[in-house]
């Protein structure tokens, strides 16, 4: 297994190219969306699992401390990715063996497992927003602030050698007699300090007893462990905005489970699951928006990172899936697709491509796994 990990890390571009080619080929396999064909879906799911494992290997750090910390915890992002691929096989197998009406029970169990895994990932990630349904880890952005109040975004401020700032002056460790000295921030003061350091270094080079001190023994960098916030600390310290944020994320996590349970009860042709799912999605984003506005008004420290803002935009774009879900698709979308296919069918090449695209859309629309957005 270690040899395979090394090979994947060395040939990451080749691995990704092969994965893209294999996934593209599976979409044009014969009987790709046939109700009785499980093998193509299983092949597609297997390729997805292999791709997720390879991506996890590539993104896993190879240095000792980071690797040890990663191995101590369960890779929840990888687990979520594998469950999404397995769910497609579960749906096809249930549809084949028990029928369309009874497959929703199996899908409900799968969605319940996914919800539990996402809750565990949410907790493990320090109750930060789940990115792409938990498939991408939400790494905290490092924004440092120096004692002059300047944010550095992780880039250290350039100080003089062996020195730091205090009360508007540079404090160095190479003053007279080896004691710390104060250097003015003016240009003249820095020039005099530089000359003094040059003289001290020249004296050190002329004295053989100082030669051994020119190369100090390397000191391993100190590793600062950041304690992850618990549910109690988040609930008590973040106030109303933090509680709203956690509520909004929990609503988003359970939305697919609510959707499939309503389909199981009312049927795929009912408008109730469609409308309730949309309402839950709007409620989740509304709660997040209200929590962010409350943070701005109260001046809280916690703000959304750039990755979290992109995630909220992605969730809004996922609303486009509602035009692919029944009963909206059967009532409106299919009619427009058929009109477009009929209008473009006489055009050479474009008509063929349009017909194939409509066929793929109608086939993908028939699968809950592809349209649920979970």
The rounded average pLDDT for each run of 10 residues, N- to C-terminus, in the chain (374 residues) is: 77 76 66 60 80 80 54 79 90 89 93 95 88 83 44 37 43 47 48 54 48 49 53 62 86 95 94 96 91 73 78 92 94 91 89 88 86 88
**What is the spatial distance between Cα 294 and Cα 286, in angstroms, rounded to a whole number?**
12
**What is the spatial distance between Cα 280 and Cα 293, in angstroms, rounded to a whole number?**
20
186 within some domain: yes
**What is the spatial distance between Cα 370 and Cα 105, in angstroms, rounded to a whole number?**
17
190 within some domain: yes
172 within some domain: yes
Q: How many domains does the chain have?
A: 1
202 within some domain: yes
Contact by Cβ (8 Å): 82, 112: no
CA-atom Rg of the chain in angstroms: 29
Structure tokens at 366: 């028939």
pLDDT for 189 equals: 52
DSSP-derived secondary structure for 201-252: HHHHHHSGGGGGGSSPPP-PPPPPPPPPPPHHHHHHHSHHHHHHHHHHHHHH
pLDDT for 227 equals: 57
194 within some domain: yes
- Tell me if the pTM is above 0.95: no
Which residue has 């028990």 as its token pair? 98
168 within some domain: yes
Closest CA to 81 of 48, 46, 113: 48
pLDDT for 143 equals: 43
pLDDT for 190 equals: 53
Structure tokens at 121: 């990932």
What is the extent of the structural domain holding 172? 163-212
pLDDT for 230 equals: 62
pLDDT for 229 equals: 59
188 within some domain: yes
How do strand 181-183 and strand 169-172 relate by DSSP bridges? antiparallel
**What is the spatial distance between Cα 161 and Cα 201, in angstroms, rounded to a whole number?**
13
pLDDT for 152 equals: 40
User: What DSSP character marks residue 350?
Assistant: H
86 within some domain: no
User: What DSSP character marks residue 160?
Assistant: -
């Amino acid at each position: 297994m270690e040899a395979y990990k090394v090979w994947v890390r060395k040939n990451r571009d080749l691995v990704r190219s092969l994965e893209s080619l294999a996934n593209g080929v599976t979409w044009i396999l014969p009987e790709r969306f046939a109700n009785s064909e499980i093998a193509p879906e299983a092949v597609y799911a297997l390729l997805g699992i292999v791709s997720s494992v390879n991506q996890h290997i590539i993104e896993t750090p190879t240095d000792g401390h980071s690797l040890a910390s990663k191995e101590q915890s369960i890779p929840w992002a990888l687990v979520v990715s594998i469950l999404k691929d397995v769910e497609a096989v579960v749906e096809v197998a249930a549809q084949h063996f028990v029928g369309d009406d009874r497959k929703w029970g199996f899908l409900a169990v799968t969605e319940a497992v996914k919800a539990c895994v996402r809750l565990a990932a949410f907790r493990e990630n320090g109750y930060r927003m789940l990115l792409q349904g938990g498939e991408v880890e939400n790494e905290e952005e490092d924004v440092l602030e120096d004692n002059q109040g300047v944010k550095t975004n992780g880039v250290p401020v350039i100080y003089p050698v062996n020195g730091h700032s205090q009360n508007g002056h540079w404090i160095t460790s190479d003053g007279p007699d080896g004691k710390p000295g104060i250097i003015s921030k003016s240009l003249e003061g820095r020039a005099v300090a530089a000359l003094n350091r040059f003289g001290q270094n020249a004296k050190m080079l002329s004295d053989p007893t100082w030669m051994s001190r020119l190369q100090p023994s390397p000191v391993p960098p100190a590793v600062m462990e950041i304690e992850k916030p618990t549910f109690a600390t988040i609930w008590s310290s973040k106030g109303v905005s933090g509680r709203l944020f956690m509520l909004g994320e929990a609503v988003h996590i359970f939305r697919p489970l609510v959707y499939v349970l309503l389909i199981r009860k009312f049927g795929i042709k009912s408008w109730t699951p469609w409308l309730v799912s949309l309402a839950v999605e709007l409620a989740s984003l509304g709660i997040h928006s209200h929590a962010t506005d409350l943070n701005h008004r109260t001046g809280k420290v916690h703000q959304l990172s750039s990755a979290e803002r992109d995630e909220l935009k992605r969730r809004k774009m996922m609303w486009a899936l509602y035009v692919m879900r029944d009963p909206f698709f059967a009532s409106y979308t299919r009619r427009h697709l058929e009109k477009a296919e009929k209008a473009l069918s006489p055009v050479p090449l474009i008509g063929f491509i349009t017909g194939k695209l409509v066929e793929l859309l109608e086939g993908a629309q028939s699968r809950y796994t592809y349209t649920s957005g979970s």
